Amino acid sequence: MLKAKLNGKSYDVLLSNDRLVIDGNPLEWDIVRLSATSFHILNKNKSYSAELIAHDKTTKTITLKINGSIHKVEIKDRYDLLLEKMGLSSAGAGKIISVKAPMPGLILKVNVEAGDKVKAGDGLVVLEAMKMENMIKASADATVAVVKIKKGDSVEKGQILVEFQS
């Protein structure tokens, strides 16, 4: 089951036997795909033109344009709901606070310094371990706050290499 939030109202969404069920009511819409991002919808003899404007997998939001009006839908899957129930949140999952050494080794190269803006996938540090060079990369976009190591340093597994601004 999913939770969808639209215009401040929350809905229970379930896919059952290839049918969409919202708040316990089967969706009785005729939907025709016109292109990869546009659709024509018929519901209770009313016609709607719908277009998928954006889909952000990180924040789990979908932006739709329906008959010219923009609607943002926030979606929570069962894992998000479980985390919420446990008093935790996945909202910060796309943020990184620090990068730690995945294994003991020797720092061969440091590609960043304090103040640098990095993008997900950018190489931060080259770590030599077991005679292999390992590029340690950023897992999300961030700004470097502190570089805790320098070329030639020996590091232990779990040691913080780079910290980011929150």
Is the pTM for the entire model greater than 0.85? no
- Rounded to whole angstroms, the Cα distance separating 18 from 156 reads 51
For the cut 80, the answer to whether the pLDDT of residue 84 exceeds it is: no
Kindly report, residue by residue over 16-58, the tens digit of the pLDDT. 777 888 998 888 888 899 999 999 999 889 999 999 999 887 7
CA angle 124, 137, 106 (to 5 degrees): 60
Domains of the chain: residue spans and CATH: 2-91 (no CATH), 95-164 (2.40.50.100)
Q: How confident is the model at residue 59 (pLDDT cuts 50, 70, 90)?
A: confident
Q: By three-state DSSP, how is residue 94 classified?
A: helix
